[in-house]
Amino acid sequence: MSDETKYYDDYPSEPIGGKNPYCRCSSCGRSAPEINGSIEGHLEDCPWRIQKKKELDIKRNKMGETRKQEFIDRYIVTFLATWTASDAPLGKPRGFIQL
């Protein structure tokens, strides 16, 4: 099972209270049905989500995926920067690459 499809319910939770039968994330306050086991179900600034993302990144880094992706990203950014700076013919749309 990949990290993206995994069901995460190890966030700190507390009962919503009142008549609501569900729990919510104590970090960002989103309810369990809203979160639905997904990291993206938490608010973007949820401390648990940020921490979890970090842990997953470290895990991926160990497998080399992040490093590979970072290399590709950097390569594309460098290529684009170089290309738009020097090779783009004037009057032609910039940022268009023919592969």
Residues that bind Zn ion (CB under 5 A): 25, 27-28, 42, 46, 48
Looking at the Cβ atoms of 53 and 83, the one nearer to Zn ion is: 53
The helix/strand/coil state of 27 is coil
Distances, alpha carbon 11 to alpha carbons 4, 7, 25, 42, 84, in Å: 16, 11, 6, 10, 45
Least CB distance to Zn ion at residue 47 (A): 8
Least CB distance to Zn ion at residue 19 (A): 22
Looking at the Cβ atoms of 47 and 66, the one nearer to Zn ion is: 47
Least CB distance to Zn ion at residue 97 (A): 39
The helix/strand/coil state of 17 is strand
